[in-house]
Amino acid sequence: MVRSTRKNDWGFPRWRGYGSSSEAQQVRLCDRYGCNKAGNCPAPKSPNNPDRWMFCEDHAAEYNRGWDYFEGLTKEEAEQREANERRDASGYKEAAHYGWAGSGDGSRTRDEMHALDILGLDSDSNFEDAKKAWRKIAKETHPDVNPGNADAAKAFQAGQAAYDVLRVAEERREWKG
């Protein structure tokens, strides 16, 4: 008697899961010489090149540690590329009034961090601390208190600008819908 080679999961419903077939699976190995792990992490071979290496997670991390995205570009080209990418990615930015984050948890911008440095505050300081620091700086460096002192005038202007940056950021955080 001839044995049937037909399987019983060829129609609907399938009696086996879609990922489980009896054929061999194709696995791409890591492109690092001597590595036998699966290469499932793409890494660019060079900047602006569509060719990719396929590394395992360990070798991808090792490769990315030394990667410089702006390698070979002049300062102007690097700034232009950064501006283009910021422009393209700005549509994915979360709306400011949906932000749950508070101060000191990585939610501050580079300008806010610079403003906190000017006022002599830590990154986890709140807006009340910024007000107090600004008032202290204003009392010490105001042009009316120090007439003719150019350094005091510059410090006053820097403190005023830093306070304005933090005030606008606080208004943006406290959305009152």
- d(Cα 159, Cα 150) in Å, to the nearest integer? 14
Contacts of 163 (CB under 8 A, 6+ apart): 115, 119, 130, 131, 134
At 110 the pLDDT is 84
The residue-averaged pLDDT of 165-173 equals 87
Reported confidence tier of residue 100, pLDDT bands at 50, 70, 90? very low
What's the domain range around 125? 110-174
Q: Is residue 17 in a domain?
A: no
Asked whether residue 143 is assigned to any structural domain, the reply reads yes
- % of the chain exceeding 90 in pLDDT: 22
pLDDT at 80: 92
Question: Is the pLDDT confidence value at 17 over 80?
Answer: no
Per-residue confidence (pLDDT) for residue 103, from 0 to 100: 46
For residue 60, being part of any structural domain is answered with yes
pLDDT, tens digit, 9 for 90 and up, residues 49-59 = 788 889 999 98
CB 175 within 8 A of CB 96: yes
The yes-or-no verdict on residue 132 having pLDDT over 90 is yes
Distance, in Å, from the CA atom of 143 to the CA atom of 146, rounded to the nearest integer, reads: 5
If asked whether residues 116 and 168 sit together in one domain, one would say: yes
- The total domain count for the chain is 2
